[in-house]
Amino acid sequence: MDVLVPYAATRPKTRLAEVLNSAERESFSRAMLADVVDAVAETGAEPTVLATAPVELDAPVVVDDRPLSAAVNDRLTATSDPTDHDATDDERRDGDVATEATRRRREDDPTAIVMSDLAVATPRVLSRFLESSGDLVVAPGRGGGTNALVVRHPDFYVDYHGASYLDHLRIARSIGATVREFDSMRLSTDVDEPNDLVEVLLHTNGRARDWLLDAGFDVDSRDGRVGVQRER
């Protein structure tokens, strides 16, 4: 199975600015990306990084600086068909038009989308997720986001703006696609806020955890609350 791993290569993880400077956020986000790519590869799937700028990584990288939804939809349809004269300019640009060959290919060989900040994801959990049945398999994130998808229905497209979890359920209903929700702590935990760093320290042993330890972060459980502290 092909697995897209979207990655914002420029100014990543701005919500971590309270605890990490710009260079640190870039370095830490690359460590998380490498962990996710390794975890996907260990399942036997084929990861492709969909990055907004060039990234040096031991995996195929496709550079697309468009908004996330347009970039992913273009890959889902294996680029829109420029000979489709019934398509609008917006549909051609956003990759919402699939040829019949593309439709058949997606039914036979589904595509998954796994976000690059799922630093606590493991090959075991990802294997279960990728093998789950359904036209659409969705791993919701906290706060209404969508952290991972398996797309088997030829007419499905993504919409990552706002409460994308609800949007993806709506899109699935509109095209008659069956949906399976995948409930997993490891796939629902994306690392966006400073408090999320504790999950990386507690539940992983990969590059992202090593990066945090090297940067002086550790678990802080004083006053009965679990968080992170940093030695400067």
- Let me know if residue 108 belongs to a domain: yes
- Let me know if residue 122 belongs to a domain: yes
- Let me know if residue 225 belongs to a domain: no
The structure's pTM equals 0.87
- Let me know if residue 91 belongs to a domain: yes
Tokens 């990552």 correspond to 160
Residue 93: other Cβ atoms inside 10 A: 14
Domain that holds residue 119: 2-194
- Let me know if residue 231 belongs to a domain: no
Total number of domains constituting the chain: 1
d(C-alpha 45, C-alpha 219), whole Å = 33
Kindly report the CATH number assigned to the domain that includes residue 55: 3.90.550.10
Residue 119 near residue 204, CB atoms below 8 Å: yes
- Let me know if residue 220 belongs to a domain: no
Amino acid letter, residue 55: V
- Let me know if residue 164 belongs to a domain: yes
Residue 105: other Cβ atoms inside 10 A: 16
pLDDT tens for each residue of 77-123: 863 343 343 445 554 444 444 455 555 555 668 999 999 999 999 99
pLDDT tens for each residue of 163-173: 999 999 999 99
- Let me know if residue 57 belongs to a domain: yes
pLDDT tens for each residue of 33-89: 999 999 999 999 999 999 999 999 999 999 999 999 999 999 998 633 433 434 455
DSSP 206: S
Of 161 and 16, the one with more pLDDT = 16
